[in-house]
Every structure is written in C-alpha cells, then in structure tokens.
C-alpha cells in the first residue's frame, strides 16, 4: 500500500473516532444511555448503541460538513448491514432488551470554522426499507 493511501485510511479512521466520540457525548446530553460503541459482527457494524425510554437506538455516525451528504452516505447496503448487526446484538449481547422497540438513527457531525455541528435524524429508516 502506498504511503498516501495508508495515511488517508488512518486519517479517515481517526476522523470517524472523533465524530463517534462527540456523537456519544451529544446523545448522552439528550438523555440516552450508551450501551456499546463500534459493535462489530461478521455481517455488519453499528457505530453507537443507546437505550432510552424502552427504545434501543442503533446509530450510524457520519463525519461530514454537509448534512445532506452525510445522510446520503447511509445507503441501502449499509442500512442492511446495520440492521443485521442490530439483530445480532439483541440476540447475542442483550437478550434483556428483546422486548424493547428499536429504531435506526443517523447523526451527522460537522465542523466549520472551528464550530462543531450535529444533525440528528431519529428514526432515519425502518428495518427492511
């Protein structure tokens, strides 16, 4: 792998961690309890998993300055992988939440001129859409 490609991958990874850390703090301030970060399975990954008021919230985080671009980045294929990872999480890690409702959110974290912005789209899609 060329050095430039390696650097770009590392930079993207670090930017993703940065956005997920900020997103987790933002959601905690809104009253959500963080259950898991970067939950990975062989079928998919969920960036952040929260619980609030009897609802499991599986959250995809995107670091983008343009919120529309961030929302568009969560395409059909990525939604299916997130859904599969969510089902795996409930079955394997959190059977006590089996009777909870679940939803899928997208949280876009941006930075312009040093100011951090958050765009939280709750219930961004329904399972199977």
Tens of pLDDT, residue by residue over 8-56, are: 778 878 888 999 999 999 999 999 999 999 999 999 999 999 999 999 9
Mean pLDDT of 64-90: 88
User: 109 pLDDT band (50/70/90 cuts)?
Assistant: very high
DSSP 13: H
Q: What is the pLDDT of residue 86?
A: 95
Closest CA to 66 of 112, 19, 125: 112
- Measured between alpha carbons, how far is 7 from 10 in angstroms, rounded to an integer? 5
- The proportion of the chain whose per-residue pLDDT surpasses 70, expressed as a percent, equals 91
More confident residue, 5 or 40: 40
pLDDT above 70: residue 6: no
CATH of the domain at 17: 3.40.1350.10
- Measured between alpha carbons, how far is 27 from 34 in angstroms, rounded to an integer? 8
- State how far the alpha carbon of 27 is from the alpha carbons of 8, 20, 63, in Å: 28, 10, 15
Query: Which residues on neighbouring strands pair with residue 101, listed in sequence order?
Result: 55
- Measured between alpha carbons, how far is 58 from 26 in angstroms, rounded to an integer? 15
Query: Which residues on neighbouring strands pair with residue 107, listed in sequence order?
Result: 61, 120
Domain count for the chain: 1
| Residue 96, domain extent | 3-125
């Amino acid at each position: 792998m060329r050095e430039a490609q390696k650097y770009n991958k590392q930079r993207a990874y670090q930017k993703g961690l940065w956005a997920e850390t900020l997103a987790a703090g933002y959601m905690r301030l809104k009253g959500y309890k963080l259950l898991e970060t970067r939950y990975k399975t062989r079928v998919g990954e969920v960036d952040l998993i929260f619980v609030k008021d009897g609802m499991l919230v599986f959250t995809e985080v995107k670091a983008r300055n343009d919120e529309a671009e961030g929302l568009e980045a969560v395409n059909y294929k990525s939604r299916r992988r997130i859904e599969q990872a969510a089902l795996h999480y409930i079955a394997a890690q959190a059977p006590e939440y089996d009777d909870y409702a679940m939803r899928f959110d997208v949280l876009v974290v941006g930075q312009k001129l040093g100011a951090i912005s958050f765009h939280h789209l709750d219930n961004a899609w329904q399972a199977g859409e």
